[in-house]
């Protein structure tokens, strides 16, 4: 009996070693010495110091080639006077997305203006200008109307608000539309974009709202300058203030890549991926309160400008897929938004179509999906 047990242990140990070797052969290390197995980064993680340093060096040498630029009050914004190599993305002198970078949008204008704020879903990643929500909405309106696209790729709700306060309001919008993409609720707790998303390619930091003695205050505001970021990462000077500067970057018992992979698969898979985010959308959470503080500031700013404020619900592909089996994981938050604010919700219109037709490979809306949303906005504005 003892021999059989020893034999079984030896066999299991050999299998474990072979699988460990296989995982290490299939996976690879990135420039930060983080191990990646296909699309999964395995714990423990090293801070993205090397990649951030490289990106910042490139930005310093050729800032005109960068898609985004540093902004002391917002963190980052689309680069001024920019055109991508493929011609899909162009920004005029204020970093507003346009068809042609030579277009000059004057702050003084008699046209009926609708200003769009939000992240890459509003900006229109993965589609040419004509396929964006803004451009397709423009096509539905008369020539006396004008759409201004203030979207910030990778931005949080806080950054959208700050862009309105520090830039957008000077363009005298008649309608202010904020694109509520639910992941941005999570981004509100983030300062280092490179920690929130190791693959983002955004080296800058952002401000964030935090509550101090029952009052919301902005921290990392103005944001740290580019030359300060690498040292701050090394020293962990803002570690306690960034929600995502967490245990992933601490030493663990996962010296085995196989064990780390198994743990990663069990805790983060297509069946529970969104469930991992649920805590950010509960009414008892700080993130819930922060999100509604930001929305109230949007409303106050719109009121001060005499503008109409609308919130546009932008469900992600996974939201639509998983909510077929139940409610949206952020349903309580969305319901409260609809109770308290004017809300445009294209969710049902999107569901009436094949889901793969609505989204591009990196999960942003396709031109077709953006068109459905633009039509929904148009019908809401005309009410």
Phi-psi region of 293 (alpha: psi -120 to 50; beta: other; left: phi over 0): alpha
Residue 253 has pLDDT above 60, yes or no: no
In this prediction, residues 225-238 reach a mean pLDDT of 91
Instruction: With beta carbons less than 8 A apart as the criterion, state whether 97 and 132 touch.
Output: yes
**Cβ density class 309-337: b for 16+ within 10 Å, e for less:** bbbbbbbbbbbbebbeeeebbbeebbeeb
Instruction: With beta carbons less than 8 A apart as the criterion, state whether 170 and 115 touch.
Output: no
Q: Which two tokens stand for residue 30?
A: 């990135």
Residue 241 has pLDDT above 80, yes or no: yes
Q: Which residue has the higher pLDDT, 45 or 74?
A: 74
The mean of the pLDDT values for the chain is: 92
What percent of the chain stands above pLDDT 90? 72
What's the confidence (pLDDT) of residue 277?
A: 86
Which residue, 126, 115, 90, is CA-closest to 368?
126
273 pLDDT band, cuts 50/70/90, is low
In sequence order, which ranges of 62-177 are alpha helices (DSSP H)?
120-123, 133-140, 157-166
What's the confidence (pLDDT) of residue 236?
A: 83
pLDDT in tens, 131-164: 999 999 999 998 899 999 999 999 999 999 999 9
Q: Which fold has domain 44-252+283-381?
A: Rossmann fold (3.40.50)
Q: Which residue has the higher pLDDT, 212 or 119?
A: 119
Residue 248 has pLDDT above 80, yes or no: no
Spatial distance between the Cα atoms of 353 and 216, rounded to a whole number of angstroms? 41
Spatial distance between the Cα atoms of 59 and 44, rounded to a whole number of angstroms? 29
pLDDT in tens, 316-361: 999 999 876 668 999 999 999 999 999 999 999 999 999 999 999 9
What's the confidence (pLDDT) of residue 271?
A: 59
Q: How many C-beta atoms surround the C-beta of residue 28 within 10 A?
A: 11
Spatial distance between the Cα atoms of 184 and 218, rounded to a whole number of angstroms? 17
pTM: 0.93
DSSP structural state of residue 126: T
Residue 44 has pLDDT above 90, yes or no: no
What's the confidence (pLDDT) of residue 251?
A: 61
In this prediction, residues 367-374 reach a mean pLDDT of 98
Residue 83 has pLDDT above 90, yes or no: yes
């Amino acid at each position: 009996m003892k021999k059989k047990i020893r034999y079984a242990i030896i066999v299991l140990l050999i299998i474990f070693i072979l699988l460990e070797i296989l995982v290490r052969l299939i996976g690879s290390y990135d420039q930060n010495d983080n191990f990646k197995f296909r699309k999964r980064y395995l714990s423990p993680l090293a801070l993205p110091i090397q990649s951030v340093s490289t990106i910042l060096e490139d930005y310093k040498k050729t800032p005109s080639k960068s898609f985004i630029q540093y902004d002391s009050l917002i963190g980052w914004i689309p680069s001024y006077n920019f055109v991508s190599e493929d011609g899909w993305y162009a920004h005029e002198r204020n970093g507003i997305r346009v068809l042609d970078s030579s277009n000059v949008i004057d702050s003084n204008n008699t046209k009926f203006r609708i200003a769009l704020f939000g992240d890459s879903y509003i900006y229109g990643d993965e589609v040419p200008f004509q396929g964006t929500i803004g451009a397709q909405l423009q096509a539905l309106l008369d020539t006396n109307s004008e759409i201004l696209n203030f979207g910030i790729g990778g931005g949080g709700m806080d950054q959208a608000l700050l862009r309105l306060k520090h830039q957008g309001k000077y363009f005298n919008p008649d309608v202010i539309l904020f694109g509520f993409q639910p992941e941005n609720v999570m981004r509100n707790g983030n300062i280092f974009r490179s920690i929130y998303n190791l693959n983002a390619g955004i080296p800058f930091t952002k401000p964030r709202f935090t509550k101090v003695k029952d009052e919301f205050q902005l921290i990392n505001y103005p944001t740290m300058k580019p030359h300060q970021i690498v040292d701050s990462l090394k020293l962990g000077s803002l570690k306690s203030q960034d929600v995502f500067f967490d245990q992933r970057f601490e030493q663990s018992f996962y010296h085995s890549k196989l064990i780390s992979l198994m743990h990663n698969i069990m805790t983060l898979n297509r069946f529970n991926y969104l469930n991992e985010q649920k805590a950010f959308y509960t009414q008892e959470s700080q993130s819930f309160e922060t999100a509604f503080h930001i929305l109230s500031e949007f409303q106050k700013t719109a009121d001060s400008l005499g503008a109409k404020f609308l919130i546009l619900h932008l469900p992600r592909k996974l939201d639509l897929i998983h909510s077929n089996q139940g409610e949206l994981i952020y349903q309580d938050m969305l319901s409260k938004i609809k109770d308290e604010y004017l809300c445009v919700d294209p969710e049902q219109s999107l569901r009436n179509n094949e889901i793969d037709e609505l989204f591009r490979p990196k999960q942003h809306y396709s031109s077709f999906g953006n068109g459905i949303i633009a039509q929904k906005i148009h019908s809401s504005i005309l009410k």
